[in-house]
Amino acid sequence: MAKINVRSPFYVNLTATRLTSVDMELWVYTGTQTTDRNSGNGSFFQLTSTAVYTYASNTSNVTFEVSEIAKDFIQQNFTGDYYNNNVWIDYRTRNYIGGVAQSFTSWSSYRGFYGYGYFQDGANPSLELGWLQSNLIILKSPTEPLKIPVDTELVNNVSFYENGVLVYSHDVTSSVQSDQQIEYIQSDGSSFVDLESRVIADGGVYESSYCIDAFEGSANFDADTVYINSISGDVTVVKIKNIEECKYEPMKLTFENRFGALQDLWFFKRTNKTLSTKKEMFKRNISVNGAYNVSNHQAKVLTKNGSEKLSLNTGFYPEIYNDIFKEVQLSEDVWITINNQVLPINVESSGVEYKTQLNDKLINYTVDVSFAFDTINNIR
């Protein structure tokens, strides 16, 4: 099923002779495809547009734009668990020919992703790719599991290799659930087919123990190459590089990329933290019976709060990551993980200078971010 990247316009154009107007019935919903269309998991819109006549072709046409409506129903809340709140977008239309209503068309169904296309991608960019990242090289901390986001409708298998040896193979299946259109295959215990199922499948007898259960829950495996096999037969090869950093504490930034998937970006070098404050002042009367205490504030702070910012440095990155830093700048939702706590941030840098190995030799990026909350809790 085709998809709509709702951060870019998606146009539905209808053309016919003697067309006077068109009705559109539009559903945006979550849950089970088709089944939950009329349930409480969605919203219904009825749109009507008058046709515009084109003299050269002697036809009239109507254009609807549905992304702007669907966009409001996708909200990403990242707390450390990798999943996406995608939606179903279904519509059907009814033409009025010479003012006479025709029958409704059958339903057209799409998957809604919080992605976008570039100008060069043309109108209605669908980005029908199984691998939901722009980079074919991943730099990561060796202490963190690898996350491989794939489109479950376009990919059927993901295989992990270390030094040419297969260490794990994961089969991907499509789903009629809106929140299972993207799967994040991880290089940790949650990715393994459980040991009991494998032993029984081989005709053996499984004996559980505390040690085996603990191992399965915490096991990690390394991989230097990942093969993403699409249902069309195409194979995408992704190289993995674990970066050891002993001087600074690496910082993990997670953002929603152009495909509508969550993606990690690591900053391995120095991080600077600053605090800026803002306040409201007033002058108060400190006089009592014609005298006053010189220790009292005449100019008094009414309210005061602060906001903290971070300046993050990547360390040396390959040139292919220029596209990733471009997507970070364009992302609306960004988080950072500090002390195992996921916190919302906003990218303060208003632009990015693309770097190349030819001009810059070793490529290091600095990104300034601010926490998306006040330092003092003032949520009421």
> Which residue, 116, 120, 102, 115, is CA-closest to 14?
102
Q: φ and ψ at 290, to 5 degrees?
A: 85, 5
Task: Please give the pLDDT value at position 155.
Answer: 97
Tell me where in the chain the CATH 2.60.40 domain(s) lie.
Answer: 3-121, 129-187+222-244
Find the Cα–Cα–Cα–Cα dihedral 156, 162, 166, 172, rounded to 10°.
-20
Q: φ and ψ at 70, to 5 degrees?
A: -65, -30
pTM of the full predicted structure?
Answer: 0.85
Phi-psi region of 163 (alpha: psi -120 to 50; beta: other; left: phi over 0): left
The residue-averaged pLDDT of 297-322 equals 92
Task: Please give the pLDDT value at position 352.
Answer: 66
**219 pLDDT above the threshold of 60:** no
Instruction: List the structure tokens of 367.
Output: 């990104």
Tell me the percentage of the chain whose pLDDT exceeds 90.
74
Task: Please give the pLDDT value at position 202.
Answer: 53
| C-alpha span between 76 and 266 (Å, rounded) | 20
- What's the CATH fold of domain 129-187+222-244? Immunoglobulin-like (2.60.40)
* 245-380 classified as CATH 1.10.287: no
Find the Cα–Cα–Cα–Cα dihedral 315, 318, 321, 323, rounded to 10°.
140
Task: Please give the pLDDT value at position 357.
Answer: 61
**190 pLDDT above the threshold of 70:** no
Q: Are 345 and 369 in contact (CB under 8 A)?
A: yes
Q: Which helix (H) or strand (E) holds 198?
A: helix 195-201
**pLDDT band per the 50, 70, 90 thresholds, residue 320:** confident
Which of the listed CATH numbers 1.10.3470, 2.30.30, 2.60.40, 1.10.1740 matches domain 3-121? 2.60.40
| C-alpha span between 268 and 144 (Å, rounded) | 13
pLDDT digits (tens, 9 = 90+) for 114-154: 999 999 999 999 999 999 999 999 999 988 889 999 999 99
The residue-averaged pLDDT of 88-115 equals 96
Tell me where in the chain the CATH 2.40.30 domain(s) lie.
Answer: 245-380
